[in-house]
Structure 1
Amino acid sequence: MIDLDKEICFRSWFALSMIYLVLIIHPIQLQAEESSDASYGITKRVPWNSSRIKGTPEPSLPYETERVFPNLKFKQPLAVATAPGEKRFFVAERKGKIFSFDYEDQDNSQVDLFFDLKEYEPKLNEIYGITFHPQFEKNRYVYICYVLKPGLPEGTRVSRFKVPDTKPLRCDPNSETILIEWLSGGHNGGCLRFGPDGFLYISTGDGGPASPPDIHNAGQDVSNLLSCILRIDVDHESGEQPYSIPSDNPFVKQRAVRPEIWAFGFRNPWKMCFHPENGDLWVGDVGWELWELLYRVEKAGNYGWSIREGRQPVKPSQKAGPTPILPPTIAHSHREARSITGGYFYQSPRLKELKNTYVYGDYTTGKLWGLRYENKRVNWHQELANSPLKVTAFAIDHTGEVYIVDIQGGAFHRLVPIKKSDHNPKFPTQLSQTGLFQSTADHQLAPGVIPYSINAPAWADYTTAERFVALPAETSVELIQKRWWNFPKDSVLMKTISIELQRGNPESSHRLETQILHFNGDRWVGYSYRWNAEQTDAHLVATEGESLKLNISTEEDPKQKSNYEWHIPSRAECSVCHTPYQNYLSVLSFSEAQLNRDQKYGDVVDNQLRTLSHIKILPESVWTDSKGAKARYLVDPHKTSAALNLRARSYLHTNCQHCHRNNGGGGSTILLDASLDLSKMKAVGVTPTQGTFGIQGAEIISPKDPFRSVLLYRMSKLGKGRMPYSGSSHVDQRGTQLIREWIESLPSSSDRSNGYVITLRNRQRNLLSDAVQIEDQDFVSEKLQEILGTTSGALLLLDALDRMAMPDSMKKQIIQLATQGNNPLIRDLFERFLPEEQRTKRLGVKIDSAALLSIQGDSREGKKLFFGMSGLQCRNCHRVHQYGKEVGPDLTQIGKKLSRQELLENIIQPSKKIDEKYFTYVVGTRSGKVLSGLLMKKDASGLTLKDPKNKQLQIAQQEIESVVKQKKSIMPDQLLRDLTAEQAAHLLAYLESLK
C-alpha cells in the first residue's frame, strides 16, 4: 500500500482527479471525503434507498406465529408434557433440567424446577421425551427418555420416576426404575406417548448419525429395538422385566422379532401423537436426502427405511422386514422442508376453522402445515404459516390449543390469523421500479449499490454474471463469532446473468435475468426478473419460475443456430441453494474467501475487502484478519498459473459445497468446502451410497483413477443423477477436464489398488489406441463397442473425445455407437454431442395426461413396443391372443372394456382400480423370506403364488408365518417414465385397438 504521508501532494492532486472521474463517469456516484481516502476503490458509501423492496409480491399465508408466555424462556427445550389433573406444562431442556409452569397464566414469570436429571445422572447427554401416566393422580408416575453418550449399547433409556404429592411438584430422583434401553446414537427417537389403550408407545431412531444412511442397517432389522415404534404395558411386570408385552402386539408370536415392536422402518421418528377421537397414531419422521415424511402409523406397518426414504431407493438390496413397505401419508420435498417435527390435532375453539386439523412443522425452514384425514385419505392439506422458528416440539393444553416450541429462542408460540400481511401490492414488478438502477436500460446502478466480483464463479451453462450489494443507510454487516456475517434487514444482493448469443463474441451479450436476494429480517427471499427482448427492462417472474428459449450460434459458423433453454428458478428452488437455515449460510458468493481479491472501481484497483471495510459495508476486522494465506483458498478454477489442487478444490467449492456441507441439503455425506483438508472431505476412497452407475469398484473420488470416480461421472452426464443438481443443465467440459486431471494427480496407496480394474483399464486404453490408428471400420467398431461395454470405459472414451486428436469420422462413430445403444448409463454421457432436437425427451414421473391423450399414436408401432421393447415388459405379464404370459389380465379385448383415458389412468396408477383376483399377496415365511405375487391356490397344505416373472411359488403351510393381502397391483408404478410421449401414445393406440 502507498505511503500517504510521503506522497501527500501527489495524493491531493489524484484525489481531486478521482472525484471528477467518479462523479462524471462512475455509475456508483461516489463521494470523496478527504485526500487521504483516494487510494481506496470507493471513498464513501452513498445511502441507498431501500424503501421500494418491502414485503412479498404474493398474498401472505393465512396465519403467523405470536409469542405466548412472553416472560418465560428456556434453554433448548426439546419436549413438553402435561400431567393429568395439572394445568401446567412440563418443559424438558436438552441438557437435563425439567421445569413446570401454569399455562393458564399468560403473564407468568415463575417456573418451578421439577427435576434436574443431569445432577442425578452426570453421564446424561440429552433428554428426549417426557410423559405422565394416564392415572398419574393415583400412581404419581412420570416417564422420561434420556440419552447418555452416543454409541453405548444401552445408551438410550426410558425410566419411570415417582412424583411426591407436593406443591410445587418435584420428581423423586431416587425412585428411578429403568424400563427399557437401546443403542444410543445421533438418531434416538425418544418420544413417549400413552395411547388411548393405556399402553406406552416409544419412538426409536436408527442409532446412527445424519450420514451415511443407517450405518447399523437397523431400519428393517426387527431383531432389535432400533427404528421402531414400541408398545409396552407398563402396568404389569413380566418375570424380571418391569413391563409386559400386550398380547395383541403384531409380532408377539414371530421368531427373531422383538415383541415390543408395533411398527418399524423409521429413520428418526421425531414426535408423535394420537388423534383425540379415533385414536390414530401420527408420527413425523426426519428424512435423509430428499424427503421429510409423515405417517399415519398402522399396526405392523413397515415404513421402508433404509431400503427407501419415502419413495426414493436408498439401500434397495437390503433385506426387507416381515411386512410390506407402506408409503408415507405425506412426503415433503427438501425444497420446502429439511427436518420434520410431528405435532398435534387442533381442538381449541379459538381458531374454529382449524378444528380437527393436524398441525405440524419443520425445524429447519420454520414452515407450519395443517392436514385433515378422513375415509383413509388426506382430504385437506395446506401451508399455514412461514415462521422464523426452529420447531423442535409442540405442546397441547386441556382446551386443545396447540403451541409451537422454538429451540433457538427457547420460547412458546401459537398460530394467529395474520394481522399485518407481508403482502405488498406495490411490490416492484419491473426491475426499474426496485430503486437499484439509475438507468435500467443502461444497467447503470443507483447510488449506494456497489459492484463486486468473486474469485471462483460457478459454472452456469455458458452464462456470465455481474454482482452487486446494497445495504440500507447507516447499516453494516455484523460479525458473529469472528466467522459469520449477519446482514441488516432489507439488505439486497443482486446478480444479472447474461449469455453470448454468438458464443465467443462479447458484443452479442444478452441479459437473461436479474436475480435479487432480499433479507426481510428473518430470511433471504429470492426473486427473478426476466429481461425483455429490447433489453430495456426486466419483469418479475411468477413464483413457479419460467423458461427462456434462445438460438445460439458460434463465431466459426454464425448461421448455424442451436436451441438453448435457460431455466429461471422458482422461488422454492432459490431456497435449495440459499438455504433458510441461517442468515449467514444463505449468502454464497458474498463471502470472505470469494471477495478477497482486487476489484476495479473506475480507474482505481483496490482489494475488495479493504474497500468494503472502509465504506462500512463490512466490519474493519474482516479486512485486517484476511491478509494471511489461509484466507486465500479460492482462485479462478481456470487460472492455469495456480496450483492444480487449489483450482480443483475451488471448483468443487463454488459449484458443490453449498449443498454438500452441514445443513446444506445434499444427500451425500461429502464435504466440499475448499478450506477443509483432503482427508476431511469424506469423499476420497469412499464408496458411494447413492448408486455406482455400473462402475466396477466405484468410489466417490478414486485417487489416480478418474474413470472409477462417481463424482466425475455425475459431472459428465446429462439426465437423472447429474451434478450440479440445480443451476445447470449443460456439461462443463473445462470443469470435467480439470477434475479428471486433479483426480489423476491424487496420491493413492498400493493397498487400495484393484488389480482387475487396473487390467481392464489398461486393456481399454490399448483398444482405444488401436482404434485410433487402424482404418478398418469394422475393426474399429468392434473395439469401440468393447470399450463402451462398461461405464468406466465410456468415461475413458468420452475423455478421449474431448482431448485426443482423432478423425472426425471416428468421433461421429463413437457418438453414434454410444447414443444408439441400449444402455442409458452410457447414452447419458454422450447425449450432449447430439443436437437438442435429437436428445431423448422422456415423460418422467409427472405426466400431463391431457397432453399425452392429444397425441395421435400408431397402433403398429405400439405393438412393437408392447412385445419388443426392453424395459417395458408388457409381454411378460399380459397375454394378447396367444402371445405373451398370463400373470396379469388378458388384454385381448381391453379396448372394448376401457376408453383411451381409462387405459392411461390404469397404467399411471395401476393400483387405483384393480380386480380382487389381481390383489398382491405378501407371504412371510418362518425362515425370514418375504414372497409376493398373485394367489393361485390356497388349501390346507399351503398356498401357491404367481410372481411377476410368471413363476409359481409353492409355500407349505408349516413354513408360513404371515399372509397379507394388499390392494395393490403387481404391475410396476411409473411404467411410462422412461418412454417418450410418442412412444406412450403408440402404446395407448395399440391397447385401444384390442377389441
Structure 2
Amino acid sequence: MISHVRRLRVALALIAFGSLTLVLGTVGSPRSRADTKPEHPIPEPYKQSPPSHFECRWADAPITLDGVADESAWKHAQAINAFHVPWLGDKARVSRTATTAKLLWDREYLYFHAEMEDSDLFADITDHDGDLWKNDVFEIFLRPDSEKSGYYEFQVSAAGTKFDAFYPKYAPNSLAKQSKIGAFRMESKVKLNGTLNKRDDTDKGWSVEGRIPWSDFLRTGGRPVAGEKWKLNLCRFDYNANWKDAELSCVAPIAKKKIPPFFHQSEDYATLAFVGPDATTAKPFGIDKREPLTTSTVAGFPDPPPPFVAVRALDKYRPEFPIRAEPIPGTRDLLVITQPQPYGATQMWRAAYAAGTTTKDAVKQLDTPNGGTAYDIAFHPKFAENQFVYIGWNGATPGRKGKWSTITRYTMSKTAPHDLDPKSAKTIIEWESDGHNGCAVCFGSDGSMFVTSGDGTSDSDTNLTGQRTDLLLAKVLRIDVDVPADGKAYSIPKDNPFVGQKDFAPETWAYGLRNPWRITFDAKTKQLWVGQNGQDLWEQAYLVRRGENYGWSVVEGNHPFYPNRKAGPTPISKPTVEHHHSEARSLTGGVVYHGAKHPDLQGAYIYGDYSTGHIWAVKHTGTKIEWHKKIAITTLKITSFALDPDGELLICHHSAPGDGGVYTLAPNTAKHAGTFPKKLSDSGLFDSVKDHRMKPGVIPYSVNAPFWSDGAHKERFLAVPEGTIQFKRSGGWDMPDKTVLVKSFALEQNEGDPNSRKWIETRFMTKQDGEWYGYSYVWNEAGTDATLVDSAGLDRTFTITTAAGKRQQAWHYPSRAECMVCHSRAANYVLGLCEVQMNKDHTYPNGRTDNQLRVLERLGLLNVAWAGEVEGAVKDATDRQQPDQREPKPTGMLPFAPAGLKKLADPYDKTQDLTARAKAWLHTNCATCHVEAGGGNAQMQLDFPTEWSKMRLIGTNPVHQTFDLKDAKLIAPGSPEKSVVIHRIGQRGPNSGQMPPLSTTRVDVLGVELMTEWCKSLKKP
C-alpha cells in the first residue's frame, strides 16, 4: 500500500485533536525534538499570495544529468521559487529554506532541476517507492487534464532514492484502496553540498536534476503539445535536527479542507504551460515560417479525360465493404456479399434493386460457414426451375486441417422472403488452399460449370503448384454439376482437353494461373475471360482457351519470373492484355457488356483495378484485339463487375459504410484539363525558371544517399499547397493531395566543371485524388524554360567534353508509366521523403544550415502519430492509454530529436562506416524493387530496416542467371569476382543484366568500388 495512505490514516486519526502541526511534523520524524535550536526561524505570514502559473520551456540543447544544471538550455528556464506553506490560513507564509526549481521539455523528456538550501541533509531510505516522505525529498505532481482526475507523483530524496506513481483518480476518502499503476523510467542525479545523515554538522544544501520520458505518460495521452496547460505541484519535505517539526512546502495553493492539507489535492494544483519551441528557446531555424503556396497550377491531368466516370447505381443502399453483387434471375433484386470489416468473415444479403429508391432488405443474413470468406456467386442456368445458387468461398472445414476452397450449392426459397437455406448446403468441389484461392465460378452456354483455383500460397508460388498438372490448383476447371458421377457431386465433361491423360487432373480446362480474380462467360461472343492478380510487376487478363498453359510461375504474364523452374508439358500462352504495376496493381476481372446505355462499349470486356480504380475495355474478335483503351479513372476499390437486370454495368466499391456501395459508369462531361502546366513557367512553382529559383512556399531538400543518375547533378524541392505530411518511422511518408515533388537534373558540359552545368530535365511527382502521377519536362537549349514531355517519354543524346575528348551521353526522359516503376506502391510512391533520407543538414537559400526534419517540424508540415511511434516503450497494458483520461493530442512534433532518428550513410563519403555505406547504396539503388511486393523477384530484401542476416543476400545462391561466374553467390563473402550483384551493377547495355535496370546508361564506378570493398571485408565461410 502506498506510503501516503499510511500518512493519511495517521492524519485522520489525529484530526480529532486539531493538531495539524503534529500531523505534518511528527509523522516519520527522524529524531527527538528535545533541545532544538531556532535555526532558520519561521518567517512572517505573507501579505500577497505567491504566483500559481508557471512555464515549462523548450530545451533545444542537450542536457547531461549531473545534478548541476549548468547546460545552456537551463539558462532559458523559468526559476520557480514560490515554495510556501499555503494551508495555514491567515498564517500562510513562505518556506523557511529557499528552493528554486526549473522545468524544461523536449520531444522525449520532461526535465526537472531543484536547488535546495538545507543545513541538515537527511535521507536514510534506499528502497525504490519506499516512504521517501520521511526523508529530505523533492516531489513533482502532474495532472495532465484538469477535467480528468488522473495524476502522477514523482519523488527523489537527497540519497537519490526514487518514488514514481500514476493514480487514475484522486478520492481522499478511498485513497487507501488505490495503488499506483505501471512502471516508470525516471532518471535523476543528486549533488550534495554537505554530508548526508551526519546530524551534528552544518550542511549547505542539495540539488537534483532528472528527466522523465514522455512515454511514461502514455496512460494519459502522452506528450503535451506547445501551448497546452497541465496542473502542477512542486513540493519539498525538509527535515532538520534543530526543528520541532519537519517543514512541508509547495508551489500550489493547497487549501485547508475537511481533512488535513495533503499534496494529493490535485484540484488545487497550480497551472503549468508548455512553451516552445520558438525563437527564444531554440537555435535559429533553417526556415522561420511556412509560406503559403497559392500559385501552383499542378493539378488535374494534361491528357484528355477518359470517356466515363463512376457514379452510384444505388444511392440509398451503401453496404459495408461489398465484394460481389449479382442479380437474382427473374427478379429486380441483388444477392450481395459484404464484409463487416476488410478481410473479415463475409455475409450475404438480398437487396431490392430499383433505381433511386433501393434500400437493403436484410430479411435474412447468411453467414459464410465457419467464418470463411465468400468470393463469388453464380446462379444455375435453370434457376427458375431448381433455385440453385453456387457460392465460391475459402475457409476452415470441420474435421480437416488448414483452409479449403469450396464451391457450395444452396437452394433459394421460391416464396418470400426468398432465403438461402443453410440446411440445403451441398459441397460440389473443394481443394486445399491457403492464399490465391480462386473460387470464381460461372456457367458456359452448354451448362457446364467453370471454376478458378489459384496456386494455393501467398507469394511466388512457394509450393511450386503453378505448373503442376496433377492437382486442382492454379487452373480453370470445367465440370458438369447436373450429372454427378463416381461418387462426386459432378462429372467430367468428355471434351475436357486432358481427359485420359494420367498426369493431368481431368477437371483441367486451362492451367498455369497464379491468383485468378473473377471469371465470366459471355453467351453472345462465346468468350471465357479470367482476370488475374500478378506478382511483382504485371497484372493480366486472359481470353481463356481450351487446354492453354498461362505459364505461372515460370513467367509472370509475358515476362520471365522463374525461367529455371520446370514448365508444364504444353506451350506457354501469352496473356490477352497485361498492365505494368505503374498503372494497375491488383486487377479485377470483369464482364462483357451488351447494354443499351453505352453503344461504344457493346461487346467489350470491361475490367478494372482494385488499387488504382482505373477501368479498361477491350474488344476482341476471338482472334485478335480490335481495340483496347482506358475508359475511366475512378477512386473506387473495385472488387467485382456485374450486369444489372437490364444488362447495365454494376461495380462493387470495397469501402466502409457510407462510402462503399454499388456504382456504374456514366458519360464524362468534363472538358480537357487545360490548366495543367505545359511549361515549367506555367506551373506556379518558380519565381524564375531561368535562374531555377522557386517560390518561397516551395521547400528545397536533399537526401543522404542519392540514387545514381549517370553522374547528373540534382536539386530537389517539395511543394505542399494544402494539408500536412503523415510522418512515419519506416517507408515513404504519406503526402496530402496536390503535393508536388520537383527534381531537376543538370549535366556538366565539361566533365568535372560544376560551372558548366546545364539543366536538361525536371520531373514532377504529384498526388491527385489519392493517386500519384509522374511527369517530365525537357529544357530548351537556352536554359530559359522546359516543356512537358509526351506520355510515351523521350530520348536524347548530349555531347560531353572530357579530358580524353568528347563522349556521347544518352539520356532517357521516362514515360509516365515508367515513372511509377520506381515510385511504386512498395516504396509508398515517394523515395527521398522518408526518415532515413531526410534526416540530414541542408543549407537553405537564406544561408542557414539546419536539420531538415527539424525544419519541417517547425513549419508545421508534419503530422506525427506520436503514441504509435513510441509504442516500443510500452511494457504492458497498464502503460497504455487508460480509460477516462486525457487523450493524445494531435501533434506535428517529431517523436524523437533528429539525433535519435535513423539516417542513411552517404555511400560516397569514405570517412563514414564501410558497412553502413554499403547498406545505404543497396537501399537507394536496389530496394525500390528488391523489397516485399516491390517487383524484384530475386527474393532479396534490400531495404535499410532489414537486417543483413535476413536480406537473403550474403552467401545466397542466385535463383536466376549466374552470368557464368564460378561458384556464384549473390554476394560471395570475400570474393567479389563470384558475386552476381557486383557483376550486374558493373554492367550496362541491352541483355547485360545491368542493375538498376532503368534510368542509367553509365556505370556507377564509385558505387562498384564501394560494393567491391565491402564484399572483400566480409569473412569468407
Q: Give the TM-score normalised by the residue count of structure 2.
A: 0.66
Residue 50 of structure 1: how far off its partner (Å): 3.6
Give the AA of the match of 2:592: F
1:390-433 CA distance string (max 9 Å, x none): 32221221222122223346332222221223x33243222122
Give the AA of the match of 1:108: T
Classify 1:441/1:149 alpha carbon distance in 2 versus 1 (closer, same or farther; 3 Å): farther
1:314, 1:689 within 8 Å by CA — same for their partners in 2?
A: no
* Alignment-derived partner of residue 299 in structure 2: 54
Find out whether 1:127 has 2:390 as its counterpart: no
Find out whether 1:590 has 2:833 as its counterpart: yes
**Hey, what's the Cα distance between the residues in 2 that align with 1:77 and 1:682?**
39
Among 791, 796, 800, the alignment partner of 1:543 is 791
2:298, 2:676 within 8 Å by CA — same for their partners in 1?
A: yes
1:685-732 CA distance string (max 9 Å, x none): 444334333334443334444333322222111123321122222111
* Alignment-derived partner of residue 995 in structure 2: 723
- Provide structure 1 residue ranges, at least 5 long, that are not aligned to the other structure: 9-31, 751-995
Among 733, 741, 744, the alignment partner of 1:493 is 741
**Hey, what's the Cα distance between the residues in 2 that align with 1:183 and 1:568?**
48
Give the AA of the match of 2:591: Y
Mapping of 1:572-971 within 5 angstroms? 572-579=817-824, 581=825, 585-601=828-844, 602-619=846-863, 623-627=893-897, 631-719=901-989, 720=991, 721-746=993-1018, 750=1021
* Alignment-derived partner of residue 438 in structure 2: 189
Residue 747 of structure 1: how far off its partner (Å): 5.5
Residue 549 of structure 1: how far off its partner (Å): 1.7
Residue 636 of structure 1: how far off its partner (Å): 1.0
2:743, 2:762 within 8 Å by CA — same for their partners in 1?
A: yes
**Hey, what's the Cα distance between the residues in 2 that align with 1:408 and 1:723?**
39
Give the AA of the match of 1:384: I
Find out whether 1:206 has 2:455 as its counterpart: yes
Residue 494 of structure 1: how far off its partner (Å): 0.8
Residue 82 of structure 1: how far off its partner (Å): 3.0
**Hey, what's the Cα distance between the residues in 2 that align with 1:153 and 1:624?**
44
**Hey, what's the Cα distance between the residues in 2 that align with 1:696 and 1:403?**
57
Give the AA of the match of 1:679: S
1:84, 1:135 within 8 Å by CA — same for their partners in 2?
A: no
Among 668, 676, 699, the alignment partner of 1:418 is 668
Q: What secondary structure does 2:534 align onto? A: coil
CA RMSD, 1 decimal: 2.9
Find out whether 1:300 has 2:547 as its counterpart: yes
Classify 1:322/1:566 alpha carbon distance in 2 versus 1 (closer, same or farther; 3 Å): closer
Q: What secondary structure does 2:450 align onto? A: strand
Give the AA of the match of 1:458: F
Residue 265 of structure 1: how far off its partner (Å): 1.9
Residue 171 of structure 1: how far off its partner (Å): 2.6
Q: What secondary structure does 2:615 align onto? A: strand
**Hey, what's the Cα distance between the residues in 1 that align with 2:403 and 2:777?**
56
Classify 1:265/1:613 alpha carbon distance in 2 versus 1 (closer, same or farther; 3 Å): same
**Hey, what's the Cα distance between the residues in 1 that align with 2:828 and 2:982?**
27
Number of residue pairs matched by the alignment? 715
**Hey, what's the Cα distance between the residues in 2 that align with 1:113 and 1:635?**
62
Q: What secondary structure does 2:983 align onto? A: helix
Find out whether 1:112 has 2:112 as its counterpart: no
* Alignment-derived partner of residue 512 in structure 2: 265
**Hey, what's the Cα distance between the residues in 2 that align with 1:610 and 1:51?**
25
Among 601, 605, 622, the alignment partner of 1:358 is 605
Find out whether 1:460 has 2:709 as its counterpart: yes
* Alignment-derived partner of residue 538 in structure 2: 291
* Alignment-derived partner of residue 506 in structure 1: 754
Residue 59 of structure 1: how far off its partner (Å): 1.5
Q: What secondary structure does 1:56 align onto? A: coil
* Alignment-derived partner of residue 811 in structure 2: 566
Q: What secondary structure does 1:338 align onto? A: coil
* Alignment-derived partner of residue 383 in structure 2: 136
2:561, 2:937 within 8 Å by CA — same for their partners in 1?
A: no
* Alignment-derived partner of residue 282 in structure 1: 529
1:208, 1:216 within 8 Å by CA — same for their partners in 2?
A: yes
1:499, 1:512 within 8 Å by CA — same for their partners in 2?
A: yes
1:72, 1:109 within 8 Å by CA — same for their partners in 2?
A: yes
Residue 628 of structure 1: how far off its partner (Å): 7.1
- Provide structure 2 residue ranges, at least 5 long, that are not aligned to the other structure: 1-59, 62-71, 78-276, 865-890
Mapping of 1:230-245 within 5 angstroms? 230-245=477-492
Q: What secondary structure does 1:503 align onto? A: coil
Mapping of 1:518-533 within 5 angstroms? 518-533=766-781
Residue 196 of structure 1: how far off its partner (Å): 1.6
1:575-599 CA distance string (max 9 Å, x none): 21223x49x8111111122111122
Give the AA of the match of 2:670: K
1:268-324 CA distance string (max 9 Å, x none): 222111123132211123333443322221222222223333333344455544443
Structure of greater Rg: 2
* Alignment-derived partner of residue 642 in structure 2: 395
Mapping of 1:374-385 within 5 angstroms? 374=621, 376-385=623-632
Q: Give the TM-score normalised by the residue count of structure 1.
A: 0.67
Mapping of 1:977-988 within 5 angstroms? none
Find out whether 1:65 has 2:310 as its counterpart: yes
1:163, 1:169 within 8 Å by CA — same for their partners in 2?
A: yes
**Hey, what's the Cα distance between the residues in 1 that align with 2:740 and 2:502?**
62
Classify 1:693/1:65 alpha carbon distance in 2 versus 1 (closer, same or farther; 3 Å): farther
Q: What secondary structure does 2:598 align onto? A: helix
1:192, 1:202 within 8 Å by CA — same for their partners in 2?
A: yes
**Hey, what's the Cα distance between the residues in 1 that align with 2:313 and 2:337?**
18
Classify 1:73/1:722 alpha carbon distance in 2 versus 1 (closer, same or farther; 3 Å): farther
* Alignment-derived partner of residue 284 in structure 2: 39
Classify 1:400/1:468 alpha carbon distance in 2 versus 1 (closer, same or farther; 3 Å): same
Residue 230 of structure 1: how far off its partner (Å): 0.7
* Alignment-derived partner of residue 157 in structure 1: 406
1:153, 1:182 within 8 Å by CA — same for their partners in 2?
A: no
Residue 623 of structure 1: how far off its partner (Å): 4.7
Give the AA of the match of 2:663: H
**Hey, what's the Cα distance between the residues in 2 that align with 1:683 and 1:376?**
45
Classify 1:116/1:731 alpha carbon distance in 2 versus 1 (closer, same or farther; 3 Å): farther
**Hey, what's the Cα distance between the residues in 2 that align with 1:668 and 1:315?**
9
Residue 51 of structure 1: how far off its partner (Å): 4.3
1:633, 1:675 within 8 Å by CA — same for their partners in 2?
A: no
**Hey, what's the Cα distance between the residues in 2 that align with 1:685 and 1:404?**
49
Q: Which has the higher helix share?
A: 1
* Alignment-derived partner of residue 854 in structure 1: none
Classify 1:540/1:483 alpha carbon distance in 2 versus 1 (closer, same or farther; 3 Å): closer
2:412, 2:418 within 8 Å by CA — same for their partners in 1?
A: yes
Residue 480 of structure 1: how far off its partner (Å): 7.7
Q: What secondary structure does 2:862 align onto? A: coil
Residue 160 of structure 1: how far off its partner (Å): 2.0
Residue 451 of structure 1: how far off its partner (Å): 0.9
Quick one: higher RCO (CA 8 Å, sep 6+), 1 or 2? Answer: 2
2:861, 2:892 within 8 Å by CA — same for their partners in 1?
A: no
**Hey, what's the Cα distance between the residues in 1 that align with 2:680 and 2:862?**
26
2:527, 2:622 within 8 Å by CA — same for their partners in 1?
A: no
Classify 1:718/1:646 alpha carbon distance in 2 versus 1 (closer, same or farther; 3 Å): same
Residue 525 of structure 1: how far off its partner (Å): 1.9
Classify 1:387/1:462 alpha carbon distance in 2 versus 1 (closer, same or farther; 3 Å): same
Task: Judge which range, 610-619 or 296-305, deviates more.
Answer: 296-305
2:728, 2:834 within 8 Å by CA — same for their partners in 1?
A: no
